[in-house]
Amino acid sequence: MTRKAILRGVGHYLPARVVENAEMESMVDTTDEWIKTRSGIERRHFAAEGELTSDLAIHAAKAALADAGIGAEDIDALVVATSTPDQTFPSVATVVQGALGTNGFAFDVQAVCAGFVYAMSTANAFITSGQANRVLVIGAETFSRIMNWEDRTTCVLFGDGAGAVVLEAGDGDAGILATDLNSDGRFRDLLYVDGGVSSTQTTGVLVMQGKEVFRHAVEKLAQTAETALEKAGLTPDDVDWIVPHQANSRIITRTAQKMGVSMDRVVMTVQDHGNTSAASIPLALSVAKSEGKFAPGQVLVMEAIGGGLAWGAVVLRL
Ligand code: UT7
């Protein structure tokens, strides 16, 4: 039998502060109507002062471990997908490891909004190659820290949060069936943060050419999802749930349409979380699971695109 990475547990954490679109109206020149119509977002969560990406990650990780019914000591690899780390180094993953006491090794993956898909693919490679048996994969972000509050075209779109999954080696039908990763650095100027260690020695703020990113998203997401399905020997007809990156409800809808998957098979949480970058897919997974949406044997496709551009998909059987 082939060794596979089975989804054993999921969990999430959202900071207490909820910022409704109405509050955004008091911060920048925008309206609830514009934000809802153009992005589908109604509210987002912002981390409290002093609340770090690692704090969010630790809460989500504890929830995923509890859901899996295992202890931190049972984990032998920990991967955190984030573009908003507490510090330049060490990695958020080692901070989480220090707090929880997981075993083995820990490191961060940075592929912006595609980060969780990249981290899942990395964890899958460790499990299928026999280098790890139980991997904790976390997507955690505090994008509110890198917003330009003078730029209404971006600051209304993002939020903070974390989601986590426990993957475990198994040899049945369930598990990750295929992954597909892509990037194209020619498009790196479409979405970036204008600061950094070796350039400005400042953190910088997010800059996005939204329309262009939108165009690429609509074109590339269905493509990568279908490629991953093909690698798994499946078609969109076999998909029970699309769990997409939550950036914009219009992108999510168009991707599903292109794939011929009806919207009642798509998990949508962007209205409540905004765009939480690498945290959005595990957040959506965890919320959907807590709502009782999933059943054993179902096929899930996760797809995401973001800065780089970097994009990809994961096909998983529950
Ligand atoms: O997660 C990483 C990947 N990121 C994404 O997937 C985001 C992709 N892009 C998008 O989601 C959309 O492009 C946005 C939601 C960012 C923008 O939607 P859009 O339909 O592309 O709008 P637009 O940028 O073309 O702006 C339309 C109008 C403009 O006014 P004019 O020039 O037509 O008069 C903007 O100035 O809306 C105006 N506008 C706003 N109005 C009120 C831009 N931002 C705002 C705002 N409130 N916050």
275 is catalytic: yes
Q: What is the pLDDT of residue 252?
A: 98
Average pLDDT over residues 10-21: 98
Smallest CA separation from ligand 1 atom 41, residue: 30
Q: How far is the CA of 153 from the centre of ligand 1 (A)?
A: 5
Averaged confidence pLDDT in the chain: 98
Residue pLDDT, tens place only, 178-196: 999 999 999 999 999 999 9
Distance (Å) of CA 251 to CA 179, 201, 223, 263 = 21, 34, 13, 12
Token digits of residue 43 = 């509210």
Mean pLDDT of 71-78: 98
- Cα(206) to ligand 1 centroid in Å equals 14
Q: Which of ligand 1's atoms lies nearest the C-alpha of 217?
A: 6
Q: What's the confidence (pLDDT) of residue 1?
A: 66
User: Which residue in the list 45, 59, 245, 273 is annotated as catalytic?
Assistant: 245
Where do the domains of the chain lie? 4-170, 175-317
Residue 216 Cβ inside 6 Å of ligand 1? The answer reads no
Ligand 1 midpoint to CA 50 (Å): 30
Is residue 163 within 8 A of residue 285, CB to CB? The reply is: yes
Give Cα 155 distance to the centre of its chain. 19
CATH 3.40.50.1860 describes domain 175-317: no
Q: What digits encode the pLDDT tens for the residues 27-65? A: 999 999 999 999 999 999 999 999 999 999 999 999 999
Question: In the prediction, which pLDDT does 166 show?
Answer: 98
Rg (CA), the chain: 18
Asked whether residue 198 carries a pLDDT value surpassing 90, the answer given is yes
Protein residue closest via CA to atom 25 of ligand 1: 211
CATH of domain 4-170: 3.40.47.10
Instruction: Note if the pTM is more than 0.95.
Output: yes
* pLDDT level of residue 2 (50, 70, 90 thresholds): confident
Extract the tokens encoding 308: 């780089």
In this predicted structure, the answer to whether residue 232 has a pLDDT above a threshold of 90 is yes
One-character DSSP codes across 133-146 = SEEEEEEEEEGGGG
Q: What is the SS3 assignment for 39?
A: helix
Active-site residue, selected from the candidate residues 45, 113, 133, 155: 113
Instruction: Evaluate whether 259 touches 239 at the Cβ level (below 8 Å).
Output: yes
Contact 317, 118 (CB under 8 A): no
For the chain, percent of residues with pLDDT exceeding 70: 100
Q: Is 252 in the pocket of ligand 1 (CB under 6 A)?
A: no
Q: Which residues neighbour 7 within 8 Å (Cβ) at sequence distance 6 or greater?
A: 165, 166, 167, 174, 175, 316, 318
Q: How many C-beta atoms lie closer than 10 Å to residue 32's C-beta?
A: 17
Residue type, 155: C
Residue position matching structure tokens 């020997």: 233
Contact 167, 126 (CB under 8 A): no
Is 80 exceeded by the pLDDT of residue 150? yes
* Burial class of residue 282 in the structure, from the number of CB atoms within 10 Å of its CB (0-12 exposed, 13-18 middle, 19+ buried): buried
Question: Would you say the CB of residue 306 lies under 6 angstroms from ligand 1?
Answer: yes
Name the residue of 214, 216, 224 to mutate for ligand 1: max ligand atoms within 8 A of Cβ.
Answer: 214
Residue located nearest, by CA, to atom 9 of ligand 1: 210
| Mean pLDDT, residues 265-291 | 98
Active site residue 113: yes
pLDDT at 143: 98
8 Å CB contact between 124 and 176? yes
210 C-beta closer than 6 A to ligand 1: yes
Cβ atoms 20, 250 nearer than 8 A: no
Is the Cβ–Cβ distance between 110 and 116 less than 8 Å? no
* Known catalytic residue at 103: no
Asked if 4-170 and 175-317 have one fold, the answer is yes
